[in-house]
Amino acid sequence: MAPHTVIGPPGPLHLPRWSELWEAREVLWRFGQRDILLRYRQTLIGVAWVILQPIVTAGVFALVFGRVAQLPTGGIPYFLFGYVGTLLWTVFASTVNRAAGSLVSNQALVSKVFFPRLLVPLSTCVSVLVDFLVALVIGFGLLWWFGVWPGWAILTIPVWVTLCVALAMGIGLAAAAIMVRYRDIAYVLPWAVQTLLYASPVAYSLEAVPDAVRPYLLANPLTWVLEGMRWAMLGSAAPPVWQIVGAVVVSGLVLFAGLLVFQRYEREFADLI
């Protein structure tokens, strides 16, 4: 039996058709595959770039915050401490940036072919996660080199990464949709992400933060997942339960809100792009 489609004007609350998304899931893999192929083929140092980037960043953090500012890390080598933070931060920043720009850079497709548009920004996380896995393998190598073993907590890495991707994707979806109408988001967003880097405990630890400022940092959902990631990889103190629950709730809400914004703008993409 051939599928039967009814096309009508969109309603006020315009949720995606889940069955249709599932039907078109292959598009997601193809897009992801395309991004990976392009990145690793176009730049000769494609793989090297994925490895070099977090290592250099962590090195700079170790030099500036560890050596110059002499911030505490709870006994963890600063380089390793910075590397783990960078690892998760890269997932967040790349997801936001790539998802946000995805619709505009695929505008020819969006205005010419129908497929669930949601798949365009969603697919960006495929290449982000591949990059992450490569960097994670290096991370395990570093753990072994520095002789750090976090124990069974290491099994929770996927949880923190998932929460981080959900949070970033929520922001990315909304930004992608709004960028179709207002192109200057493309200039504002990277700056906002860069600012957030310093407003989150990526390069420094919470204990290095003065008491007066700490409540603000603790209100940042990224802090919660970063703390979770450090617990999972470095065996530092486990984040309190409220942070874990908070991270799940906030990430879920942000993702859902991003989805709603995306769907709200979705109907006019082809007319605007």
Partner 1 sequence: MSAATAISVRGLGKTYRIAHASDRPTRATEAIVARLRHPLRRTTFDRFEALTEVSFDVAAGTALGIIGRNGAGKSTLLKILTRITPPTRGQAELAGRVGSLLEVGTGFHPELTGRENVFLNGTLLGMRRQEITRRFDEIVDFSGCGQFLDTPVKRYSSGMYVRLAFAVAAHLETEILVIDEVLSVGDADFQRRSVQKMRDAAAQGRTVLYVSHQLHTVTALCSEALLLDRGTVSAYGAVEDVLATYRASVAEHAVVQRETRAQVPAGILHVVAATTTRLTYLPAEPKRFTFTIQAEAAPDGPYFLSCHINDANGGVVAQCDSRLGGLWFHPDQPQEVTLDLRQPWLKPGTYTVDVFLCRVGIVDVWDGAVTFDVEQELPYAVTGTAESFGRGMVLADFDFGVR
> Whose structure tokens read 């931060």?
89
Q: Convert residues 108-137 into a mask of x (bound to partner 1 by CB under 8 A) and - (unbound).
A: xx-xxxxx----------------------
Structure tokens at 54: 């977090």
Q: Convert residues 173-202 into a mask of x (bound to partner 1 by CB under 8 A) and - (unbound).
A: -----x--xxxxx--x--------------
Residue 22 is a binding residue for partner 1 (CB under 8 A): no
> Whose structure tokens read 């591949």?
130
CB 160 within 8 A of CB 251: no
Report the alpha-carbon distance of residue 226 to residue 242 in Å, rounded: 14
Residues that contact partner 1, how many (by CB under 8 A): 36
Name which of 21, 7, 3 is nearest 262 in CA terms: 21
Q: Convert residues 63-82 into a mask of x (bound to partner 1 by CB under 8 A) and - (unbound).
A: --------------------
Closer CB to partner 1, 56 or 105, in the complex: 105
Residue 152 is a binding residue for partner 1 (CB under 8 A): no
Closer CB to partner 1, 33 or 220, in the complex: 33
Structure tokens at 253: 């809400």
Residue 15 is a binding residue for partner 1 (CB under 8 A): no
CB of 42 to partner 1, least distance (A): 6
Residue 105 is a binding residue for partner 1 (CB under 8 A): no
Structure tokens at 250: 């906030």
Q: Residue 118, SS3?
A: coil
Angle at which helices 78-105 and 221-234 pack, to 10 degrees? 130
CB of 176 to partner 1, least distance (A): 13
Name which of 3, 5, 21 is nearest 266 in CA terms: 21
Residues in Cβ contact with 44 at an 8 Å cutoff, skipping those fewer than 6 apart:
none
CB 77 within 8 A of CB 153: no
Structure tokens at 179: 């960028």
Sign of CA dihedral 96, 99, 104, 105: positive
> Whose structure tokens read 């929770």?
156
Closer CB to partner 1, 84 or 174, in the complex: 174
Residue 264 is a binding residue for partner 1 (CB under 8 A): no
Residue 19 is a binding residue for partner 1 (CB under 8 A): no
Q: Convert residues 195-234 into a mask of x (bound to partner 1 by CB under 8 A) and - (unbound).
A: ----------------------------------------
Report the alpha-carbon distance of residue 136 to residue 50 in Å, rounded: 10
Report the alpha-carbon distance of residue 153 to residue 18 in Å, rounded: 34
Return the range that interacts with partner 1 (CB under 8 A); candidates 29-37, 55-63, 156-164, 246-254: 29-37
CB of 6 to partner 1, least distance (A): 5
CB of 127 to partner 1, least distance (A): 14
Closer CB to partner 1, 111 or 194, in the complex: 111
Q: Which residues bind partner 1 (CB under 8 A)?
A: 2-10, 24, 26-27, 30, 33-34, 37-38, 41-42, 108-109, 111-115, 178, 181-185, 188, 267, 270-271
